[in-house]
Amino acid sequence: MNKKFVPILLWSMAAVYVLLMAELLFLREGGSLRSFNLIPFHTIQEYINVDGGMRRNAVDVNIWGNILIFVPAGIYAMLIGKSESLWPRLAAVALLSAAVEAGQYVLAAGAADIDDVILNATGGLIGITIYSVLKLGLRKQERVKLFLSLLSAGVGVPVLILSLILYAVNRV
């Protein structure tokens, strides 16, 4: 593949990811919400202990959603830049998550919750791990970038199209 194509595809898919995250995390309808929780695992514990048992739907959406949405952030954190050191990349993902939570609080677009930061950082760590495993298997940075660029396009383009369709349908 053309050496110029891979970085363009990679940056394009990263931009799509950022736009989809912004829409999901800041532009949802449903009223304003301004609350915060600084007690680690408090919200997760509440989800598990509601009515003496797990509220499975809420647990799935909150816990898995917060983890999965930041997996690409961990992958992109490893792809962008020169160093492949784990801790600075994980710290960057955690800081991004904290900034999102602060933004949600300021904009009354969601609850600012330390549990979300923990779950998002977990997702980022999973993304970093995926990158590291691919790097071991594919051995060359160029191959990893090509594979992840194509994977990002394969996932990102359909998600973008679906998001645009849902946006158009809900605006009618």
User: What are the pLDDT digits (tens) for 85-127?
Assistant: 889 999 999 999 999 999 999 888 888 999 999 999 999 999 9
Nearest CA-CA partner of 33 in 113, 96, 134, 141: 113
Q: How far apart are CA 78 and CA 101, in angstroms?
A: 22
- pLDDT tens digits, residue range 3-28? 788 889 999 999 999 999 998 888 87
- CA distances in angstroms from 172 to 28, 77, 111, listed in the order given: 16, 37, 29
pTM: 0.88
In the chain, domain spans: 30-139, 140-172
